Amino acid sequence: MGVNIRKRKLATGEVAFYVNTYHKDFGRFSIKTGLQANPKNRKEYREALASAQEKVRQTEKILQRDPAGLFGRKAKSADDFIVYFDTYAQKNKYPAYLNTSKHLKTCFGGFAPFSSINATWLERFKTHILSIDALNPNTSGVYLSVVKAVIRRAFREGYIELDFTTRVSNIKKNDVERHFLTIEDVKKLSIADAPNEMVKQAFLFACSK
């Protein structure tokens, strides 16, 4: 039984880090961490290596505590997070989730296996949405929170080994001028069509308080 780091040299000159896991009763598997760096950039390389070593330590703890569960999650780790996210967004039709799905696909090219997502991956998405001029910090903050919520859901369902969302800080909101609906506005909303009737009714209920 054991866990160790495997390094793979890429054509770009960078080194990609994998975590190898072995158990005498369940076999072995290798998971891509999503971490890679050029050894010539010593600071970046040390940081990537340290993150990979931390993943090894966490995997060792899980292996000792629940080897069957760990190996059971191995199959799920090959699934794609963006497909998982998009399926959830399409099912619920929440605008924030649908919009976030578009930005995930733009940022990661439509593919992100569960085995590759980690705090560094999430920081990359955060940087991406903050770089979009058309998005204000409040909207970017909503999109980041949405991704965190789905990651926590995936963790509960066994797709990932660790909930790393707390390692990425939220986006600070800007104060905005608040506008209030009139009675006429609420009446118009009550008869308007909505893609999600449950959300509409919850909103109207909140207005009645």
Contact between 111 and 86 (Cβ < 8 Å) = no
What are the tens digits of pLDDT across the range 36-69? Answer: 899 999 999 999 999 889 888 888 888 888 777 7
Q: What pTM did the predictor assign?
A: 0.53
Q: Are residues 88 and 161 in the same domain?
A: yes
Q: Are residues 182 and 161 in the same domain?
A: no
What are the tens digits of pLDDT across the range 141-200? Answer: 999 999 999 999 988 877 887 899 999 999 988 765 556 677 787 777 777 877 777 777
Instruction: Specify if 192 maps to a domain.
Output: yes
Q: How far apart are CA 50 and CA 61, in angstroms?
A: 17
Q: Are residues 54 and 123 in the same domain?
A: no
Determine the angle formed by the axes of helices 95-108 and 137-156, rounding to 10 degrees: 90
Domain count of the fold of the chain: 3
Q: Are residues 72 and 97 in the same domain?
A: no
Instruction: Specify if 172 maps to a domain.
Output: no
Domain span including residue 198 = 177-209
Q: Are residues 131 and 92 in the same domain?
A: yes
